[in-house]
Amino acid sequence: MKKIMGIGIAAILAMPLLNFAQEVDASMMQKIREEGLQHSKVMDIVFNLTDKNGNRLANSAGYMRAANYAKETLTGWGIENAKLDAWGEFGKGWDLEKMYLAMTAPYYKPFLAWPKTWTAGTKGLKKGGIIVVDAKDSATVESYRGQLKGKLIVIDQATPYKQSFKADATRFTDEELAKMAAATMQAGGRGGQTMDTAQQRRMREQMSRTGTARALTILKAMAKEEGAVGMLSSATRNHDGTIFSQGGGSYKATDPENFLDMALGIEDYNTLLRLAKSGTEVSMETEVKTKFQDKDLQGYNVIAEIPGSDPDLKDEVVMIGAHLDSWQSGTGATDNASGSAVMMEVMRILKTIGAHPKRTIRIGLWSAEEQGLLGSRGYVKKTFMDATTNTPNAAHEKFAGYFNIDNGTGKVRGIYLQGNEQCGPIFKTWLAPFADLGATTVTISNTGGTDHQSFDAVGLPGFQFIQDPMEYDTRTHHSNMDVYEHLSEDDLKQIATVVAAFAYNTAQREEKLPRKPKK
> Residues 6 or more apart from 48 whose CB is under 8 A from it?
66, 69, 73
CATH of domain 3-90+297-508: 3.40.630.10
Radius of gyration in angstroms for the set of CA atoms belonging to the chain, rounded to a whole number: 25
The span from the CA of 36 to the CA of 19, in Å, is 23
Q: What is the pLDDT of residue 7?
A: 44
More reliable by pLDDT, 237 or 9? 237
At 68-97, the pLDDT tens digits run 999 999 999 999 999 999 999 999 999 999
What integer is the mean pLDDT of 425-433?
97
203 has a pLDDT exceeding 60: no
Which residue, 293, 500, 299, 296, is CA-closest to 381? 299
Residues 6+ apart with CB under 8 A from 449: 195, 199, 406
Average pLDDT over residues 461-481: 96
Quick one: pLDDT at residue 518? 84
- CATH classification of 94-163+201-293 is 3.50.30.40, yes or no? no
Q: Is the pLDDT reported for residue 1 higher than 50?
A: no
Which candidate, 156, 94, 153, 152, places its Cα nearest to that of 287?
152
Least confident of 78-92, 205-219, 409-423, 494-508: 205-219
Task: List pLDDT tens digits, range 23-40.
Answer: 799 999 999 999 999 999
Q: What share of the chain is helix, strand, coil (3-state, %, to 5)?
A: 35, 20, 45
Residue 211: pLDDT band (50, 70, 90) is low
pLDDT at 192: 59
- Per residue in 352-366, pLDDT (tens digit) is 999 999 999 999 999
Angle CA 365–114–279, to nearest 5? 160
Angle at 496 between CA 428 and CA 307, to 5 degrees: 90
Positive or negative, the CA dihedral 449, 451, 454, 456 is: negative
pLDDT at 209 over 80: no
Residue 162 pLDDT: 86
E strand segments, 235-354: 261-264, 283-293, 298-306, 317-323
% of residues, the chain, pLDDT over 90? 86
Pairing label, strands 3-4, 7-8: antiparallel
pLDDT over 70 (residue 202): no
Give the separation between CA 34 and CA 49, rounded to whole angstroms.
24
For the stretch 56-68, pLDDT in tens is 999 999 999 999 9
In this structure, of 3-17, 357-371, 471-485, the range with the lowest mean pLDDT score is 3-17
Which residue from 362, 359, 361 is spatially nearest to 312, judged by alpha carbons?
359
pLDDT score of 158: 81
- The pTM assigned to this predicted structure is 0.92
Q: How many CB atoms lie within 10 A of CB 270?
A: 17
pLDDT digits (tens, 9 = 90+) for 108-120: 999 999 999 999 9
Indicate if the pLDDT at residue 186 is higher than 90.
no
210, pLDDT greater than 80: no
Q: Are 74 and 304 in contact (CB under 8 A)?
A: yes
Contact 490, 307 (CB under 8 A): no
pLDDT at 15: 44
Residue 344 to residues 73, 411, 482, 518, Cα–Cα distance (Å) = 9, 16, 20, 33
Q: How many CB atoms lie within 10 A of CB 320?
A: 26
Q: Average pLDDT in the 209-220 region?
A: 80
pLDDT at residue 262 in the model? 97
- Would you state the pLDDT for residue 243? 96
CA-to-CA distance for 153 and 220, rounded, in angstroms? Answer: 10
pLDDT value of position 9: 39
Nearest-10 crossing angle of helices 197-208, 210-226:
60
Looking at residue 330, its amino acid is G
pLDDT at 213: 82
Residues 6+ apart with CB under 8 A from 278: none
Q: How many helices (H) and strands (E) does the chain have?
A: 15, 18
Q: Where in the chain is the domain with CATH 3.50.30.30?
A: 94-163+201-293
Q: What percent of the chain has pLDDT over 70?
A: 91
Alpha carbons within 13 angstroms on the beta-carbon side of residue 200 total 7
CA distance 55 to 480: 10
**Among residues 349, 436, 356, which one has the least CA distance to residue 10?**
436
If residue 200 lies in a helix (H) or strand (E), which one and from where to where? Answer: helix 197-208
Domain with CATH 3.40.630.10 in the chain: 3-90+297-508
- At 61 the pLDDT is 97
| Integer Cα distance of 284 and 106 in angstroms | 10
Rounded CA-CA distance 425/404 in Å is 19
Tell me which amino acid residue 54 is: G
Range name among 81-90, 98-107, 195-204, 265-274 with the lowest pLDDT average = 195-204
Band the pLDDT of 208: cuts 50, 70, 90.
very low
pLDDT in tens, 217-263: 999 999 999 999 999 999 888 999 999 998 888 999 999 999 999 99
- The DSSP bridge pattern shows strands 80-89 and 298-306 to be antiparallel
